[in-house]
Amino acid sequence: MTGKTKVVYSGSRQKAIEQFGRRRRLAANIKKVDNSTLHAGSPMYFYCRHCGLPTEMLPEDYVFPPITECSQCRGLRNEGWLEEAVRMVGEWLELSARSGSARQLSE
């Protein structure tokens, strides 16, 4: 055994992609902090590069690199579903923008 056993649940891929879409919509409504505008000594804010949700708040003099993706997006990537989620959510958001309505991802 390799220690990396994937468990397949019925419908889990679609649910994970829908959750990714909800995280992207939530992150779109969060005011992001521009670290370059903060005063000296202020904590630095970091966000997931995929969904945009906050991942970490570190002191200005942090030593180790910040986390660049949240645990949920990392799970999608590990399962091989992240690219599909990004593509599908992008299509849903584009359709929603064209229709002028806030469509639910579960439709």
SS (H, E, C) 18-64: HHHHHHHHHHHCCCCCCHHHCCCCCCEEEECCCCCCEEEEECCCCCC
What's the pLDDT at 100? 63
- 3 residue type, one letter: G
What's the pLDDT at 41? 92
Domain-wise residue ranges, the chain: 33-95
What's the pLDDT at 75? 94
Rounded to two decimals, the pTM is: 0.73
What's the pLDDT at 106? 43
What's the pLDDT at 103? 45
Q: 63 with 56: CB under 8 angstroms?
A: no
Which residues lie across from 56 on neighbouring strands?
46
What's the pLDDT at 10? 58
Using CA atoms, how far apart are residues 84 and 11, in angstroms rounded to an integer?
A: 15
What's the pLDDT at 3? 60
Count CB neighbours of 92 within 10 A: 19
* pLDDT by 10s per residue, the chain, length 107: 456 666 655 588 899 999 999 999 999 999 999 999 999 999 999 999 999 999 999 999 999 999 999 999 999 999 999 999 999 888 876 767 777 654 444 44
Using CA atoms, how far apart are residues 13 and 17, in angstroms rounded to an integer?
A: 6
What's the pLDDT at 56? 95
